[in-house]
Amino acid sequence: MEVWLKRVSFSLFLSMLFATLVFGTNETEPEKKVVIKFDPEASVAQVDSLTNSLGLTRVKSIEEIGVDVFEILSHYSVNEVVQVCSNMPYVVYAEPTAAARAFYIEEPTPESNPEPRPQAPAEVAEHVPGEVIVKFKSTVSQQTATNILSRVGIQIAKRFDEIGVLKCDFGGPESVLKIVEECNADPNIEYAEPNYIYRRFVIPNDSRFSSLFGMTITDAPEAWDKQTGSKSVIVGVIDTGIDTDHEDLVANLWSNPGETGDGKENNEIDDDNNGFVDDFRGWDFINNDNDPFDDNQHGTHVSGTIGAEGNNEIGVVGVNWSVSIMPLKFLGRDGSGTTDDAVEAIVYGTNNGAKVLSNSWGGGGRSQALEDAIQFANDNGVLFVAAAGNEFSNNDQFPTFPANYEVPNVVSVAASTSGDDLAGFSNFGKRTVHLAAPGSNIVSTVPRDLYASLSGTSMATPHVSGAAALVWAEYPNLTMRQVKTRLLGSVDRNPDFADEVITGGRLNVNNAISTNPVINTTRLENTLDETGPYVVEADIVDDGSVQNATLTYQIMGQEAVSAAMSSQGDDRYTGDIPGQPLGTTIVYFVSAEDNQGNETRDSNFTFAIAEPEDDGCGCGRPAIDVAIEDANLKSTVNTVANACFFLLPFVAIKFHAARRRKKNG
C-alpha cells in the first residue's frame, strides 16, 4: 500500500508539473514594479513606513482611480511585496504590473472557402413612410379596385399604366408593413410592397480598396452613403503608437487644442494643465514623452482600419473617412507593455475627450487597477473595445483580459474570415465575447507610408471601434450604452457564430446606423426551473422613438403567443414567458415599431427546460470543481485537480498489472 501511494503521489506530481508547463503560472516578473491602492483613510505615516521598509519608490500616481506605481529598489521580489502589502489593513489591493501583448498574427493565416450559408432574415429595407406600391390582377375591375383601396384606407397618388402599377399613400397611424400585409392578403391584389428608397453606394477611390474585404462584408459602402465620419469624434488607439506622418493617416490624427498653435507644440510648457507637457498629438507612456511614434507597426495598422483617410486616391480607407485618432502608446517595439502604462493611457484618453478606446492587446493576469481604469472610462461614457485573443480558446472558461472584464462599456471582439466564419486562431465565448468582425488577412497602413496584411483579433477590434465612431458621427447625442446596443443589435447573424459569441453574429456597419429600431435581445439559456417566469430582456434604440415592443414565443410547436413588453427605462424592455414543465422547448423573438411606422423583427432564439448546456468544450461538467474566488487561480487548480483525477485510474491499472507480473514471475 505504501509503495502504491508513493507511485500515485509521483504520478500526481508529474501531472501537476505537466499542467504547470502547459498552462503556465503568473510568476513571471517583467520588471520590479507594483501597483498599490491605499485606503483613503490611510495616514501618511502608515504609507511611508510600509514603502520605506520594503524599499519602494513612487514613480507614478494616477489620481483618477487612486493608485500609485512603485519601483522596488530593495532585494524583495514583486511577489513578496504584493503579499506583504495585501496583508496590510490600509491597503485596498496590491498587484504586479503584469505584461500585456498585442493580439496579431505576423504571418497571414490561410482562409477556408466554405459553402454558402443560409443568412438570418434581414430587417425591412429603407422605404418611404406613408406610401405603398400596389398592383391589381388584370381581371379586377376599376370599381372593385377602388372599393378595396377605400377599405384599406389608401388613395392613388400616381399611376403607371404601362405596367398596371399604382403608387398609393395614406395618412393614418398604420405602418407601411401593416398596409402591405393587408393588401397582400386580398386575392384581388397581385402584389403590394413598400416604396423602397434606393441610394448610390459610395465607393471610395482609394487605390487598395478592392483588397478590403472587411469593409465590403460589413456593408460599410452602404453606410458611407449616409455617413463617412466626423473629426469631432475622437478614438483613442491604445497600442504601439502611430506613424504620425503616414500619408493615409496624417489628415485624421487628433490634435490637442490646448497644446496646438502659436508654438505651443514644443514650448516645454503644460499649456492645458493636464499634467503632460506639449502633448499636442497624444503621448508615449513608455518613454514619457510627446512622440508616440510606432516602432512596431501594430498601432499604425490598427489605426488605418479605424480611420485611414477616404477618397484621397491612395492606399486604403478606414471605416471612417474622417475622424480624430488619438495615439496612446503603451506597447513597445516588442509589442508588450505593463499595467501601469495601460492604466495611464486609459485615464489620459478619457480625460482628453476620447469617445472610443480601441484595445488590440491583452494577456497578463486580472488586474484590479486596470479594471478600475476601465470603470473610470465607463463612468465617463467612453466605450472600451477589446480584442478577444488569438489562442483559439474559450474565454468563458479561460478569461483573457482586458476583454473579459465585466464592466458595461467593454465590447469583446472575435475575428472572422472573408468566408464569414470564425478565424482558426480566434478566441470565442458564448457568454463573454460579444461579436465577430473581420480579422483575417486585413490590409492596412504600416509605418513609412507602407501597407501590409496582418491577421488577428487585433485586426478585428478596429473594425468595431471604427463602427462605433461612425455611429457617433451619425448620432452625436447617443449615450455609450446606446452605441453599444446599436453595435450588438445590428449584427449579421450566422449559424457559424451562434455558439461562439453572445450576439451570434458578425459586425454590420450599415445596420448599426439604421433608422429602423435596433434590437439587442438577451439569449436565455437552458434551465431546470419549471416555475418561471422566464424573463426576456431586450435593449431597443431608434433614431426617433420606440412606440412599442412585442415578445412572441412558441411552446413546443403550439400556436405562437404575442405579448407587449414593458419599458424599464434606459432603452430596456422586458417580457415574461410563463413557467413550463421539464422537457419543454421554447422559441421566441422580439419585434419593435418606431414612431415612423418602421418595424424590426429580431432573430429567433431557442431554449429548453432542461439540463444547462456545457461550456462548449465537449467535456461536460468537471469531475472536481474547487471553489476559489480568483478566476485565474480557480481555472488552474481545477485543471490540475481534474487532470490528476483523470490519471488515477491509469496509475492504478498500471500498478495492478505490475503486481500481477511480479506475482506470476
Q: Among all residues, which ones are annotated catalytic?
A: 239, 298, 458
Please name the amino acid found at residue 141.
Answer: S
In degrees and rounded to multiples of 5, residue 74 shows phi and psi of -95, -175
Query: Given the DSSP bridges, would you call strands 383-387 and 356-359 parallel, antiparallel or unpaired?
Result: parallel
Q: Is 570 helix (H, G, I), strand (E, B) or coil?
A: coil
Residue with cell 468537471: 622
Instruction: Report which of 300, 301, 297, 112 is spatially closest to residue 212, judged by C-alpha positions.
Output: 301
Cell of 308: 485611414
Cell of 118: 443560409
Residue 15 to residues 19, 28, 52, 646: CA-CA distances in angstroms? 6, 21, 42, 10
Q: How far apart are CA 489 and CA 496, in angstroms?
A: 17
The residues, any chain, with a CB within 8 Å of residue 36's CB and separated by 6 or more, are: 67, 68, 69, 70, 85, 91, 93, 94
Q: How far apart are CA 48 and CA 508, in angstroms?
A: 54
| Angle (nearest 5°) at CA 284 between 442 and 68 | 120
| Angle (nearest 5°) at CA 485 between 481 and 488 | 135
Cell of 361: 492587446
What number of H helices and E strands is found in the chain?
14, 31
Cell of 463: 473594425
The enclosing H or E element of 325 equals strand 322-329
Instruction: Report which of 105, 207, 112 is spatially closest to residue 442, judged by C-alpha positions.
Output: 105
Query: Given the DSSP bridges, would you call strands 336-338 and 99-102 parallel, antiparallel or unpaired?
Result: antiparallel
* Backbone region of residue 647 per phi and psi (left: phi > 0; alpha: psi in -120 to 50; beta: other values): alpha
Across 371-409, the runs of DSSP E, i.e. the strands, are 383-387
Q: How far apart are CA 50 and CA 72, in angstroms?
A: 12
Across 150-262, the runs of DSSP E, i.e. the strands, are 155-160, 165-169, 189-196, 229-239
Q: Is 601 helix (H, G, I), strand (E, B) or coil?
A: strand
